[in-house]
Structure 1
């Protein structure tokens, strides 16, 4: 990989070695300090085991939603009895009658999978895969992103369906959409050793594959699924890509996928990539190194020509702005989900 600023190969190698040495020092500190401070600051929160249910189908969706809301309500009461008001409030929000949960697990950092829209009748489904520091304690931020995307998809598909609207969205008239917020794995902390290794992604990849297989039983084979992967979530999607039946994979603010190119992902899906103008990930070194048997870093920048993704415009936003209402990135993401790929604005 070329060094920043067009340095020659030897300069790039020296730069890479310096970066690896600095990163090793950070890893050693994080591996010791972060787990200890996290454990001291946040003791284990009691929560019930997840509801045990048959495999979900279109016919059992409402019963599934109700069972997981009940489990979230019980988790909220247990967290409150334990004295953790923040977790209790987070669980209580997920237990609200309006929430539609495909799964919920209040133990540890927690996991939840939430649906926006009519999943059983959707023609197009977007599945969001989050990055680091996403947990039940921060879930409402993830919820808001998924809800904003669903609103935009509904609006954009509606414009396409109105005769003479001139909206030019490219979506088919009457297109029905759904969004799934998939917090189906334990994300790494931003300040931790795990965030610069593929370990959590390796654990998450089979979970994502299993979820998407189950999703097809609800939507039917005709629904087109787009995977929207953010930050460390792009590493998860990279690990899972070779066995995913999806139409598109979108990499947002990616530190790298662990693959050198789109071809190395071994998928038939179209691969898209974008990065906001103020996203700090642009400054992350796109290298991968083996340190005492531990893989550190995620390799090639998905925006680089050598990677081969379809790079699209994301506007001037930062690392958390890809789903901001009215943003360039949100408009392009919606076009990809709706299949209006010829109208995606390129970077």
Structure 2
């Protein structure tokens, strides 16, 4: 048996063990976000224009919907959900869309969408929900500060994310469900802001979502960071005209997972080619030595380089610390 064959078998065994654990270990404890009821939102449909007046009306309407969902959570005795929702309903927050049902969906704008000529859409990964929204919001705020006043950041929680340690997080099912909504949103954003430069920044399982939606996205850049893979062999298979970027920090655990696809009775498991490998064909950008949750940390090389991608500036495409590379 060759060394390559032994390594291949070992990777498959590791992946099978992960899948077995994901299936065998139940998720218990408090009610899951998907189990918490919420009223039907009153604000639905297309925004007519991205003018200050139209946006102010939309933000006020979604704020009322969030407050109504918080009231239902209170009635059910779910103080954690109610408190999380009342934080979202702050007068300083700007939501284009909110639906508290089925785990929660939201689209929040950080910055002035009416004036922005650079747009960054953050697509989060597994484990992100209305109840755990704080990290996504913090990343959006940090990116907006890095970009400056001419940009707006969209925190797009437009799908039911999988639980982090679950079979769903190792398969593309949730991404397939999410892709049409993401395509539709980018088309609407382009309709509202046709002159703006739009980039999608896709974290972890969110990179699987972006890959599934890639062929119909209205975007200049597709940025895959902390990605376990996309389910596609290479950039050409994505079928997108966007420039595809990939980055992974040196301490990110996704670098140690098996980058293969395995066919099982549950369907395909794993996401194949590593997006930061030469075989995938993406443009590499330096990210530093942070962990899986540090990419949008203020002051990090990853944040600085992703901001440069959004604004169309020159980006450091070598690992952090390499001479002649401005991080």
**Which of 141, 145, 152 is the matching residue for 2:139?**
145
1:308 deviates by 0.9
The answer as to whether partners of 1:336 and 1:344 remain within 8 angstroms in 2 is no
Partner of 1:169: none
SS in 1 for 2:155: strand
Residue 47 (structure 1) aligned with residue 20 (structure 2): no
Partner of 2:296: 323
**How far apart, in 2, do the equivalents of 1:128 and 1:53 lie?**
21
**How far apart, in 1, do the equivalents of 2:43 and 2:304 lie?**
38
SS in 1 for 2:107: strand
Partner of 1:302: 275
Q: Note the alpha carbon deviations across 1:79-131, whole angstroms, 9 max, x for none.
A: 12211111111100111111100111112321111001111221110000000
Q: For structure 1, which segment, 40-49 or 235-244, has the greater mean C-alpha deviation from structure 2 after superposition?
A: 40-49
The answer as to whether partners of 2:33 and 2:129 remain within 8 angstroms in 1 is no
**TM-score, normalised by the number of residues in structure 2:** 0.91
Decide whether aligned partners of structure 1 residues 13 and 66 sit closer, same or farther in structure 2, where only a CA change above 3 A counts: farther
Q: Note the alpha carbon deviations across 1:184-242, whole angstroms, 9 max, x for none.
A: 001111111100000011111111001111112221x2111000000000011111111
**Which of 149, 159, 174 is the matching residue for 1:185?**
159
Q: Which runs of 5+ in 2 are unaligned?
A: 320-327
The answer as to whether partners of 2:34 and 2:102 remain within 8 angstroms in 1 is no
1:52 deviates by 3.8
The answer as to whether partners of 1:127 and 1:227 remain within 8 angstroms in 2 is yes
Residue 127 (structure 1) aligned with residue 121 (structure 2): yes
1:269-280 to 2 correspondences below 5 Å: 269-280=242-253
The answer as to whether partners of 1:50 and 1:105 remain within 8 angstroms in 2 is yes
1:1-347 to 2 correspondences below 5 Å: 10-34=2-26, 37=28, 44-56=35-47, 57-59=49-51, 60-154=54-148, 176-219=150-193, 221-292=194-265, 294-340=267-313, 342-347=314-319
1:304 deviates by 0.6
The answer as to whether partners of 1:209 and 1:243 remain within 8 angstroms in 2 is yes
**How far apart, in 2, do the equivalents of 1:81 and 1:40 lie?**
15
SS in 2 for 1:136: coil
The number of equivalent residue pairs is 316
**How far apart, in 2, do the equivalents of 1:78 and 1:41 lie?**
16
**How far apart, in 2, do the equivalents of 1:18 and 1:275 lie?**
23
**How far apart, in 2, do the equivalents of 1:58 and 1:19 lie?**
49
1:51 deviates by 2.3
